[in-house]
Amino acid sequence: MKLAITNLSHVYANGTRALDGVSLSIPAGMYGLLGPNGAGKSTLMRTVATLQSPTSGSIVFEGIDVLKSPEALRRLLGYLPQEFGVYPRISAYGMLDHMAILKGIAHYAERKEVVEALLHQVNLWGVRKKALTGFSGGMKQRFGIAQALIGNPRLIIVDEPTAGLDPEERSRFLNLLAEIGDRVVVILSTHIVEDVADLCTRMAVLAEGRIVLEGAPQELVAQLRGRIWEKTIDRAALGDHVAAHRVISTRLFAGRTIIHVASDAPPGEGFVPAAGSLQDVYFSTLRASPRAAA
């Protein structure tokens, strides 16, 4: 079971090159797609989800040429878009039931079982009769997750799934994904590094429409071991440090700034070795990408 993306490029009508020669080979399991806003993640997700035709390239999943037979892929697909709306005047149950029919579960009793289980699973059972339009962001997101899981999908694409979820919901959701994740291909597109770090067996970083990094998170973190240094400085000193070092990330802590610097050798006074995290991998990759640095 494998999703093969080869040389995928997409140029929008206004000339924006959203994808630029993207090639990925995604095996079964959770696959994290990291990238800053505007990197082309959603374009890639939509293209794989058959919603958009690329300018060039190919996508093959389990022998299905996705661009030639999108209908065949859709039968295996569970998709949670980054943003979605709902029909007015329809309840969570009604809409999920409707989606189940669309996904090919026509038999009433079977559908009832699936829909009810999913509603329990995403913890919407208590509000199943309420109109979706009245749902909060988190509730809506949970609904989106539920519909993506209908019908035993072989390929699950979730685009920024944890946006709007509170920590508890987020962990529930990640657990849910993890449970399914080892049997099917799950692509998790996000800009939140923790999501990938917690879940994914493999990942890629997308920036400016290109894959700039690909691998297993642990290996990638391991590669950084001993190369990340941390220093706590005054905010005023940030400019000097940025000029002097390869600063990959900064964050505030108790009013002072903690910077991470990538360097093969100790960068100087005040720096202490930091335990490399996926966060550091991500940011160092982005800083290394010349175009993304701007």
Footprint of another protein on this chain (CB under 8 A)? 13, 46, 49-53, 68, 71, 74-75, 77, 79, 81, 83-90, 98-99, 101-107, 110-111, 113-114, 117-118, 120-121, 123-127, 130-131, 133-136, 138-139, 144, 147, 149, 151-152, 168, 172, 175-176, 179
**Would you say 24 or 174 has its CB closer to another protein?**
174
**Would you say 1 or 237 has its CB closer to another protein?**
1
Phi, psi (rounded to 5 degrees) for 120: -65, -45
Give the nearest distance from C-beta 67 to another protein in angstroms.
Answer: 10
**Would you say 44 or 213 has its CB closer to another protein?**
44
Alpha-carbon distance 226 to 250, whole Å? 18
Rg of the chain in Å (alpha carbons): 21
**Would you say 87 or 225 has its CB closer to another protein?**
87
Give the nearest distance from C-beta 199 to another protein in angstroms.
Answer: 15
Q: At residue 121, what is the residue type?
A: Q
Give the nearest distance from C-beta 173 to another protein in angstroms.
Answer: 9
What is the number of other CB atoms lying within 10 angstroms of the CB of residue 178? 15
Of the CA atoms within 13 Å of residue 155, those in its CB half-sphere come to 22
Give the nearest distance from C-beta 189 to another protein in angstroms.
Answer: 13
**Would you say 133 or 223 has its CB closer to another protein?**
133
Of the CA atoms within 13 Å of residue 13, those in its CB half-sphere come to 1
Alpha-carbon distance 95 to 89, whole Å? 10
Alpha-carbon distance 243 to 123, whole Å? 50
